């Protein structure tokens, strides 16, 4: 059985696709900004994500939508740490399945990650791939917790200003390989590194589609892969309403589920989504189909 060894002695099996539910404790995230900024609402939403089938709840105190500005560590800590502590306590006292749900901290700053881990988070999700604050790699090594390393061209404030690549798939794969090696040099175990191609982070629609069509090349690096396409704008440009208008982010559930199913077939291990229940179903059906066709390939890194 392939597993992630989480902080605080927890484990998370990778023998089937995992669903990571998004919990933005921010006023300005692109799809759900402000909905869960108050602690009670955030905890309630985290419990709802778990009840709908999330394996991980990803808590973030800083929006990384295109054009967003960076948030200081002190403000991120204020937004997330107390809430994580309460959510962890509630998950641990709800039922057996909820006790197995992990909490990840979505941040690029080691100070925020350290305090979140102290409050009950057990893995780190870093959209900068350890570039914003290299100390986050040493922290993951010291805490013996997994870390997600994502590809992003530029930074959130400017990443969608005419991003260009000679070969987007080759460049993203090379970048992820380099960041994984940097993490290993900082002491992170290879088995604890998760790679994310960064759909929508410094990419045009064409770049995103090329990466989705080549997810197997990311999986071929032989690290667990995380895919985050949930409600993203590039899909809205494809899925026009009957009147020709672009759908609202909340209306892109079907589009997101399509990428989840494709991701399962391409070897993706973890899917970061807003809408847990439908994506849980999409992942489970795709996984069952994959197992029926090739029973020998039913590990998450096939």
Taking a C-beta distance cutoff of 8 angstroms, is the pair 156, 29 a contact?
no
Distance CA 42, CA 27 (A): 12
> Residue ranges of the alpha helices (H) in 36-165?
39-51, 73-92, 96-99, 110-119, 135-143
Taking a C-beta distance cutoff of 8 angstroms, is the pair 296, 252 a contact?
no
Taking a C-beta distance cutoff of 8 angstroms, is the pair 99, 55 a contact?
no
Distance CA 74, CA 52 (A): 32
Q: Exactly one of 88, 115, 272, 280 is catalytic; which is it?
A: 272
| CA distance to 111, 194, 234, 273, per residue, from 206 (Å) | 36, 24, 9, 21
Q: In what order do the strands lie in the sheet with 123-126?
A: 193-196, 147-150, 123-126, 102-106, 56-60, 18-24, 270-273, 226-227
To the query of whether residue 272 is one of the catalytic residues in this protein, the response is: yes
Q: How many Å from the N-terminal Cα to the C-terminal Cα in the chain?
A: 13
Largest CA-CA distance found in the chain, in angstroms, rounded: 54
Taking a C-beta distance cutoff of 8 angstroms, is the pair 56, 20 a contact?
yes
Q: Exactly one of 232, 233, 280, 290 is catalytic; which is it?
A: 232
Q: Which of 153, 150, 129 is nearest to 204 (CA)?
A: 153
Angle in degrees, CA 82, 138, 218, rounded to 5? 95
Positions marked catalytic: 232, 272
């Amino acid at each position: 059985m392939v597993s992630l060894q989480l902080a605080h002695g927890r484990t998370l099996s990778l023998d089937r696709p995992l669903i990571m539910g998004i919990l933005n404790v921010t006023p300005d995230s692109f799809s759900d900004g402000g909905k869960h900024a108050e602690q009670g609402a955030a905890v309630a939403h985290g419990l709802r994500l778990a009840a709908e089938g999330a394996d991980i709840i990803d808590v973030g105190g800083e929006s990384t939508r295109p054009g967003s500005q960076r948030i200081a560590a002190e403000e991120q800590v204020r937004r997330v740490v107390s809430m994580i502590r309460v959510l962890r306590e509630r998950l641990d006292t709800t039922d057996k399945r909820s006790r197995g749900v992990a909490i990840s901290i979505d941040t690029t700053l080691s100070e925020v990650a350290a305090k979140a881990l102290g409050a009950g988070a057990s893995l780190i999700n870093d959209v900068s791939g350890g570039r914003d604050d290299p100390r986050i790699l040493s922290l993951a090594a010291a805490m013996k917790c997994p870390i997600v390393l994502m590809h992003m061209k530029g930074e959130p404030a400017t990443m969608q200003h005419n991003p260009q690549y000679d070969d987007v798939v080759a460049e993203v794969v090379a970048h992820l390989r380099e960041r994984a090696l940097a993490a290993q040099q900082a002491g992170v175990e290879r088995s604890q590194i998760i790679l994310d191609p960064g759909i929508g982070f410094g990419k045009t629609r064409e770049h995103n589609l090329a990466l989705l069509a080549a997810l197997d090349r990311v999986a071929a690096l032989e690290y667990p892969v995380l895919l985050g396409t949930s409600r993203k704008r590039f899909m809205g440009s494809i899925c026009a309403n009957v009147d020709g208008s672009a759908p609202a982010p909340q209306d892109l559930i079907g589009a997101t589920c399509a990428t989840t199913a494709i991701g399962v077939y391409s070897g993706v291990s973890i899917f970061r989504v807003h809408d847990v229940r439908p994506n849980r179903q999409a992942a489970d059906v795709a996984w069952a189909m994959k197992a029926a066709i090739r029973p020998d390939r039913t590990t998450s890194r096939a």
